[in-house]
């Protein structure tokens, strides 16, 4: 297919940072839809980059931005604004005791970087344990704990990073269980990590749902055992809730479902609602220890007032528009409709996830469970042509899984439209 002229012009001056750019030119976005320059309306089942969690261009977010432009947008890093102080208070009020102090940065990479740096300083160790298939960011520390294809070709990562298999029950990483994880992979993984460790443990960083690995869920039983193993080794537990915070799973924060409280909570995508805002939250005890040891983490846009205003709007929307409750209700309906598609199409091997973060795995056949990445890509491309934006994991070893994360404001009618387009795209792709 010939590239449109606007895409050829874009490639003349833009670095291609994600393979090929999408073949649509977006003019505006509102609610659950993006609108292209040529007048096409596309239903967005990814909430942008999983960030516009309450829909594109929510009115309260626009108002918050406008208010910030009348007060202050940016300050010296050591200076605070009322918005930053109020955001820290309101965020901590949403969290249990032990998650008492916050710092506000821009991206998920940064928030994880802060947690890793603080964990290393507090523990006086440097070894970080992470999951195979995880994605924690693109900066040096976060990328070193990210086990995906993004590790290839860039030279050595920071020393001291160790990995354990993720509890991918549909494809047991140790070829042991079938569809229901019994924690064997965890016990084996930690035993292997112990053999590799030089005795300088600092932290274990995980996601409640591994998104880039194809929507791999952690069970409460798994996480409780992981926390026990971390405590035995003096590992701080960092929970990266970039995609699972602010109502996405049907609760305010994913750890509420897992019944385990982390030592560090990192928030990003869903905190900013489409703007660059992220947070690292930890206990008073850890913060005081790091402060006494001289903790420094100065960046150009730390504690900026404008995104803080947006963060306050996000908390307002979460609570007053009952977004977690809507995610629970609409997520159950969406999962039911996806299971109906599974009953109809043999190429859907598994449907998993909860709330409005769901995974649909595309396979060659259900007996072998061999991923059919080519078919998944074809379905994704056909969906886009037909008016539905779908994100599919294309990473070798974790590929062929649709990550479905529509805005929490989505309606049942919009879900039905999305399912209708998906069904038509699958029929067209398999013929």
Q: Which of 143, 171, 243, 330 is catalytic?
A: 243
pLDDT band at 395 (very low <50, low <70, confident <90, very high): low
Outline where 253-361 has alpha helix (H).
255-258, 269-272, 284-292, 305-320, 323-344
Among residues 247, 271, 289, 299, the alpha carbon closest in space to that of 101 is found at 289
207: annotated active-site residue: yes
**How distant is the alpha carbon of residue 138 from its chain centre?**
13
Alpha-carbon distance values, 158 to 139, 193, 331, 351 (Å): 11, 16, 39, 36
pTM comes to 0.95
Residue 154 is classified by DSSP as S
Domains 5-54+322-430 and 61-320 share a fold: no
Q: Which two structure tokens, joined as six digits, stand for 40?
A: 């096409």
Q: Are 264 and 119 in contact (CB under 8 A)?
A: yes
Active site residue 240: yes
Catalytic hit among 207, 287, 372, 414: 207
Considering 120, 335, 352, 403, which one is annotated as catalytic? 403
Burial status of residue 371 (CB atoms within 10 A of its CB: 0-12, 13-18, 19 or more): buried
The answer to whether residue 243 is catalytic is yes
Residue tagged active-site, from 135, 248, 287, 350: 135
Domain parsing of the chain, residue ranges: 5-54+322-430, 61-320
Residue 394: the pLDDT is 67
In the residue annotation, 369 being an active-site residue is answered as no
Annotated catalytic residue, options 127, 240, 350, 372: 240
Question: CATH classification of 61-320 is 1.10.760.10, yes or no?
Answer: no
Residue owning tokens 């069904």? 423
pLDDT at 151: 86
The confidence score (pLDDT) of residue 5 equals 95
CATH number among 1.10.540.10, 3.90.1150.10, 3.40.920.10, 3.40.50.11810, domain 5-54+322-430: 3.90.1150.10
178 pLDDT higher than 90: no
pLDDT tens digits for range 188-239 = 999 999 999 999 999 999 999 999 999 999 999 999 999 999 999 999 999 9
pLDDT of residue 188: 93
């Amino acid at each position: 297919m010939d590239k449109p002229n606007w895409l050829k012009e874009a490639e003349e001056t833009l670095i291609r940072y994600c393979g090929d750019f999408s073949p649509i030119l977006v003019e505006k976005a509102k609610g659950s839809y993006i609108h292209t320059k040529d007048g096409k309306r596309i239903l967005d089942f990814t909430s942008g980059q999983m960030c516009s969690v309450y829909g594109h261009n929510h009115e309260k977010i626009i108002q918050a931005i406008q208010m910030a432009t009348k007060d202050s947008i940016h300050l010296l890093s050591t200076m605070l604004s009322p918005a930053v102080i109020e955001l820290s208070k309101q965020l901590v009020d949403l969290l249990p005791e032990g998650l008492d102090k916050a710092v506000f940065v821009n991206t998920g990479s940064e928030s994880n970087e802060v947690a890793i740096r603080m964990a290393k300083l507090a523990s006086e160790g440097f070894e970080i344990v992470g999951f195979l298939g995880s994605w924690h960011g693109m900066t040096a520390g976060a990328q070193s704990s990210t086990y995906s294809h993004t590790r290839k070709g860039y030279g050595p990562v920071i020393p001291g990073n160790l990995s354990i298999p993720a509890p991918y029950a549909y494809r047991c990483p140790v070829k042991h269980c079938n569809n229901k994880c019994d924690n064997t992979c965890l016990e084996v993984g930690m035993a292997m990590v112990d053999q590799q460790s030089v005795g300088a443990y600092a932290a274990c960083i995980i996601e409640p749902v591994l998104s880039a690995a194809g929507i791999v869920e952690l069970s409460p039983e798994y996480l409780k055992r992981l926390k026990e193993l971390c405590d035995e080794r003096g590992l701080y537990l960092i929970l990266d809730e970039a995609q699972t915070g602010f109502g996405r799973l049907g609760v305010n924060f994913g750890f509420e479902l897992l019944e385990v409280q982390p030592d560090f909570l990192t928030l990003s995508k869903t905190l900013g609602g489409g703007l660059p805002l992220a947070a690292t939250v930890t206990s008073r005890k850890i913060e005081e220890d790091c402060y006494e040891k001289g903790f420094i983490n100065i960046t150009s846009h730390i504690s900026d007032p404008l995104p803080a205003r947006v963060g306050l709007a996000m908390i307002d929307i979460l609570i007053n528009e009952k977004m977690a409750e809507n995610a629970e209700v609409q997520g159950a309906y969406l999962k039911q409709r996806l299971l109906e598609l599974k009953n109809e199409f043999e190429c859907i091997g598994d449907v998993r996830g909860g709330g409005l973060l769901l995974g649909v795995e595309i396979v060659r056949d259900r007996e072998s469970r061999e991923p059919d990445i080519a078919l998944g890509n074809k379905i994704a491309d056909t969906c886009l042509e037909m008016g539905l934006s779908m994100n599919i994991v294309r990473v070798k070893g974790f590929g062929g899984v649709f990550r479905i994360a529509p805005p929490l404001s989505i309606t049942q009618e919009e879900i039905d439209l999305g399912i209708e387009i998906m069904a038509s795209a699958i029929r067209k792709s398999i013929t």
